C-alpha cells in the first residue's frame, strides 16, 4: 500500500510540469506590431503616455472608450430613434 501511494505521488509530480507547459504553449506572445496598434488605439481614444500624474485613470478611461467603441460595432440598421407605422 505504501509503494502504491509513493508511485501515485511520483506520477503526479511528473505530470504537473507537463500540464503547465502545455497550457503555456496555447497562448501566443504579443508581437511588437500588436502592441503598437493597441497603443495607437489608446492614443486615439485620448490616452496621453506623457501624463504620468494621472496614469491609472488616464489609461483606464481610454481602455474603456476603446472597449465601448468595439462593443458598439454591429450589423444592421440602428435600433435607436423613432419609427413610422402606417395606419
- Give the position of cell 494621472: 54
Query: Which pLDDT tens digit goes with each residue over 14-29?
Result: 666 655 555 555 678 9
Q: How far apart are CA 57 and CA 69, in angstroms?
A: 18
**Above 70 in pLDDT, residue 9?**
no
Q: What is the pTM of this model?
A: 0.51
Query: Which pLDDT tens digit goes with each residue over 54-83?
Result: 998 999 999 999 999 888 766 666 666 565
Q: How far apart are CA 13 and CA 53, in angstroms?
A: 47
Q: Sketch the domain layout of the chain as residue ranges.
A: 31-69
- 20 membership: H or E segment, kind and range: helix 2-26
Confidence of residue 85 (pLDDT cuts 50, 70, 90): low
Amino acid at each position: 500500500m505504501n509503494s502504491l501511494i509513493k508511485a501515485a505521488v511520483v506520477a503526479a509530480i511528473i505530470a504537473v510540469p507537463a500540464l503547465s507547459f502545455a497550457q503555456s504553449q496555447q497562448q501566443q506572445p504579443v508581437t511588437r506590431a500588436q502592441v503598437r496598434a493597441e497603443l495607437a488605439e489608446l492614443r486615439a481614444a485620448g490616452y496621453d503616455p506623457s501624463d504620468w500624474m494621472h496614469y491609472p485613470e488616464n489609461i483606464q478611461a481610454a481602455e474603456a472608450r476603446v472597449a465601448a467603441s468595439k462593443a458598439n460595432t454591429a450589423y444592421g440598421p440602428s435600433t435607436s430613434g423613432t419609427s413610422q407605422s402606417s395606419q
